[in-house]
Chains A and B, each alone.
Chain A
Amino acid sequence: MEQVLNQNVIDAVDLKHKKHIRILIITGFMFMVYLIGSIIHFDLPNLAKKWNKDRASMFMLDIYAHKDHIKMNWKDPQKIDVRFEGGHRHVYKDDPTWLIRNKNNQSTIVNFDNGGQFVFFPNRVEMRNFPNINEPFIFKLNKNGKPYVDGYVGKESMLPSWMRATENKVEVRPSLYERLQVYGSKVEVHRYELGWKYFWFDFDSPLVGKGFLDAISLMFNEDRVDPKISNFNLVVNEFLENEIWHHNTVLFAMVETLLMAILGTLIASMVGLPLAFLAAYNVTPLSSIRFFLRRLFDMLRGIDMLIWSLIFLRAFGPGLFTGIFAIAFTDTGTLGKLMSEAIENTDKKDKEGIQSTGANKVLQHRFGIIPQILPIFISQSLYYLESNTRAAVIIGAMGAGGIGLHFLGALMTGNDFENVAYMAILVLVAVMCIDTMSAKLRRLLIGIEDKK
């Protein structure tokens, strides 16, 4: 008997196991089919081909380095100027130490840290002393005004891989940090150096070259740099009005984005909580109001933040209001729904206890329900604050303004990658700050509630 029962049990388990395995195999197969189809659809095998290597390396280089442009026109070889990042306003008045002008043979030498040199002559450019490059290359113009590499005319394919000669341009890049471009009209050398130059103070600021600590100590120094205003104001003004890094606009945009997130969440929670009470069946007896509010929450939530921001963009124009209201509308729906469910899940004994003392409805809710839902309310609001900080950046880029829009703008210009990186880091720091702050606040507030 026992044996038979055991056999039955074993059979049943076996059957279930077989079914389980079958389902697993079928799901696995479908999963594989989907995966393969999608990989083909999204063109994953061509990932490497799509990856624009030049752009990516320029992007990376620009993030951690800056460059000086040294330019010579073939028509006026004596007039060589050095500009920071090639900017029109940023021409160095005094030659940097690595630029040596030799009056005797009319040459100008650009020195690099690895010992390499580009030497400008009125009729040619020479490349000397670069490590691991033994051959001295010489670049000249031919009779038609086209650039060429001396000794390599007609055998361009013999040139090293870091040099490229086309009809109108010779491009030389021995390493990432040196670059020479020879055109028919001009020669341009890019000299890269590590670091974010002029991050603290602008090119033509009186405080140029001062670091962060220098600036802080200068702030509290009695001797005025500029007799008209105090050092403190001077440092702050010069920092904010930096035209290379645009601290003024960027920082204000960051504040705008944070304000969007904070105000949007605040309004959502302040409107959502009372509505949640009205939508909970243990508070509102009228089912029509409840039904209406439930559908209102669904609508607010279902219309995406993107669509709300588009609608508000038309009404309020680009600015803070668009962001605030897009966030507030969406999250009123989400918080309202969450909180109304939380209110319905509260223990009704608390409320009955208050009711038995003869308290009226308002007091019953105040002391019977609110203490139960407050921790959930606070922690949910703070969670939404965190996700809204990210959302505000995104809405900003959609047109509402703030750091998102500046980020998009800087990326689209295609040559201010250091600003792109700066803003990305700023966003990262802001998001992390808000995350840690809200985690701390949550622990603090809910901790107090628990102890009570």
Chain B
Amino acid sequence: MYSDNILGFETIEKNLKAMAFKRLIYSFISILAILFLLSSGLTIAEENNAGSFQRGLSKFFDYPVDLFKEAFESGWRWYAYVFKYLPDLISTINMAFFSTLFGAIFALLLSLFASKNLIKNQYIVTFSRRTMDILRSFPELVIAMIFLYLMGKSELPAVIAIVIHTAGALGKLFSEAIENADNKPIEGLQSCGASWWQRVRFAVIPQVIPLFISYTLLRLEINVRASTILGFVGAGGIGEALSAVIQFRYGDEIIAIMFLLVITIISLDYFSRFLRGRLIGDNK
């Protein structure tokens, strides 16, 4: 018995050392792989970049400094620019808001069919999940550019592109939230003979609605950025204004638009965090 124990300790120590060694090897290999990736990637980048890294680094501050100088020189007029581009900004935010709303509605519908605890048919679940995967996988810009080509320049293609991407991205999060919901209320309602829709309405949705709203708010933030970018390829709004002033090299107006964008994104960030905190906090 006693000798057994000694042997046991030895084995344990040996095993421990072997495991530590294995871990060390794994860490070493992954660090090597990362270093290799970094160095080779940066070499490729250096070879294929239009300008070299060092020259770029030395020129990095030139452009922002030029812009700020120009903005400073324009004096009081600069504030007028901020107001000049306010309508564009509002149109971009509205674009994002509208498409987030629609995307969330589609996502809700899709996610109900992609949750294993609501739909027992495996094929429907898999099909809806793959649909969401495909909707999510295309970058908004790719869809938007194709639709812009087919429909001419307007805000609608951008809205469609964002709705498609949002439906996929939010649908996945929604369905995960539904699957993580407590099953007991559903079973309780089922035991009273509630129909499928009644179970969804009174057992699932009250549980997941705070999470849904918080995800949607996060998505709204992402979509404001996206609709700015889509404006750049011709969907209107502040993105188009920015691309125009960049082409004309109006430094003061570029700074005014960038200022508006940064303020919007930061305030949206704080606002949505505040709202999310309230929503999730209240229900806990």
Q: Is the CB of B139 within 8 A of A315?
A: no
Chain A residues, CB < 8 A from B53: 316, 321
Q: Are A302 and B94 in contact (CB under 8 A)?
A: no
**Please, which residues of chain A bring their CB within 8 A of the CB of B149?**
55, 59, 411, 414
List residues of B whose CB falls within 8 A of some A CB. Answer: 34, 37-38, 41-42, 44-46, 48-51, 53, 56-57, 59-60, 62-64, 94-95, 98, 101, 133-134, 137-142, 145-146, 149-152, 154-156, 159, 225, 228-229, 232-233, 239, 246, 258, 261-262, 265-266, 269
CA distance A266 to B142 in the complex (A): 25
Would you call A266 and B150 a contact (CB within 8 A)? no
CA distance A259 to B151 in the complex (A): 33
On whether the beta carbons of A318 and B265 are closer than 8 Å, the reply is no
Chain B nearest CB from A64 CB (Å) reads: 15
Given contacts A42-B155, A321-B45, contact A316 B50 (CB under 8 A): yes
Known: A38-B94, A302-B262, A324-B45. A407 touches B142 (CB 8 A): yes
Which A residues touch B146, using CB under 8 A?
59, 411, 420, 424
List chain A residues, Cβ under 8 A from B142. Answer: 393, 407, 424, 427
For B57, B152, B225, the residue with the greatest tally of chain A CB atoms inside 10 Å of its CB is B225
Q: Which of A14-22, A46-54, A94-102 contacts B (4 or more CB under 8 A)?
A: A46-54
Residue of A nearest to B266 (CB): A302
Contact B141–A316 (Cβ < 8 Å): no
Q: Are A397 and B151 in contact (CB under 8 A)?
A: no
Measured between beta carbons, the chain A residues less than 8 angstroms from B266 are: 298, 302
Please state if A262 and B233 are interface contacts (CB–CB under 8 Å).
no
**Minimum CB–CB distance for B43 against chain A, Å:** 10
A41 CB to nearest chain B CB (Å): 7
A38 to chain B: which residues have CB within 8 Å? 94, 98
Which residue on A lies nearest to B61, using beta carbons?
A: A315
Some 19 contacts from A to B, beta carbons below 8 A apart, are A38-B98, A50-B152, A52-B151, A52-B152, A263-B45, A267-B38, A306-B229, A310-B246, A311-B64, A314-B63, A316-B49, A316-B53, A316-B56, A319-B50, A394-B229, A398-B232, A407-B142, A408-B145, A427-B138
Question: Across the interface, which residues of B come within 8 angstroms of A315, CB to CB?
Answer: 51, 56-57, 59-60, 62-63
Q: Which 5 residue pairs of A and B lie closest in terms of their CB atoms, listed nearest first?
A: A317-B50, A319-B49, A320-B45, A316-B56, A317-B51
- Residue contact A320 to B44, C-beta cutoff 8 Å: yes
Cα A310 to Cα B45 in complex, Å, equals 18
CB distance from A338 to the nearest CB of B (A): 12
Q: Tell me, in angstroms, the Cα distance from A38 to B141 when the chains sit together.
A: 22
| Cα(A315)–Cα(B138), bound, Å | 29
A418, CB-defined interface residue at 8 Å: no
In the bound complex, CA of A317 to CA of B48 (Å): 11
Contacts of A135 on B, CB cut-off 8 Å? none
Contact B141 A262 (CB under 8 A): no
Smallest beta-carbon distance A387→chain B, Å: 9
Closest to B60 in A: A315
Looking at chain B's contact residues, is the secondary structure mostly helix, strand, loop, or mixed?
helix
Roughly how many angstroms separate A128 CA and B63 CA in the complex, as a whole number? 66
Residue on A with the closest CB to B231? A306
Contact of A431 among B38, B137, B233 (CB under 8 A): B137
12 additional A-B pairs beyond A263-B41, A315-B63, beta carbons within 8 Å, are: A38-B98, A50-B151, A50-B152, A301-B265, A302-B262, A316-B53, A317-B56, A321-B56, A324-B45, A398-B229, A424-B146, A435-B137
Q: Which of A240-268 contact B (CB under 8 A)?
A: 256, 259, 262-263, 266-267
Contact B48 A394 (CB under 8 A): no
Shortest CB–CB separation between residue B10 and chain A, in angstroms? Answer: 22
A153 touches B (CB below 8 Å): no
List B contacts of A180 (CB < 8 A). none
- Is there an interface contact between B60 and A55, defined as CB atoms closer than 8 Å? no
Q: Does A76 contact B (CB under 8 A)?
A: no
Nearest CB on B from A24, distance (A) = 13
Say if the beta carbon of A182 comes within 8 Å of chain B: no
Among residues of A, the one whose C-beta sits closest to the C-beta of B228 is: A306
Q: Is A347 an interface residue (CB 8 A)?
A: no
Residues A309-348 near B (CB distance < 8 A): 310-312, 314-322, 324
Task: Identify which of residues 51-80 in chain A touch chain B, using a CB-to-CB cut-off of 8 Å.
Answer: 51-52, 55-56, 59
Q: In the bound complex, what is the Cα–Cα distance between A428 and B53 (angstroms)? A: 31
Q: Pick the contact of B269: A262, A302, A320 (CB < 8 A).
A: A302
Q: Are B265 and A304 in contact (CB under 8 A)?
A: yes
- Selected contact of A51 from candidates B48, B56, B150, CB within 8 Å: B150
> Given contacts A52-B152, A408-B145, A420-B146, is CB(A319)–CB(B45) below 8 Å?
yes
Contact of A319 among B51, B95, B246, B269 (CB under 8 A): B51
Among candidates B37, B49, B138, B151, residue contacting A424 with C-beta atoms closer than 8 Å: B138
Would you call B138 and A428 a contact (CB within 8 A)?
yes
Contacts of A47 in B (CB 8 A): 156
Q: Shortest beta-carbon distance, B97 to chain A, in Å?
A: 8
A335 to B237, CA, bound (A): 29
Report whether A411 and B145 are in contact in the complex, using a CB–CB cutoff of 8 Å: yes
CB distance from A3 to the nearest CB of B (A): 27
Residues of B within 8 A of A391 (CB): 139
Closest chain-B Cβ to A240's Cβ sits at a distance in Å of 16
- Complex contact B48–A428 (CB within 8 A): no
- Does A305 sit at the interface, judged by CB under 8 A? yes
By a CB distance below 8 angstroms, the chain A residues around B94 are 38, 41
Give A368 to B70 CA distance when docked, in angstroms. Answer: 50
**Complex: how many Å from CA A324 to CA B45?**
9
Q: For A259, what are the chain B residues with a Cβ–Cβ distance below 8 Å? A: 41, 44-45
Q: Which B residue's beta carbon lies closest to that of A337?
A: B269
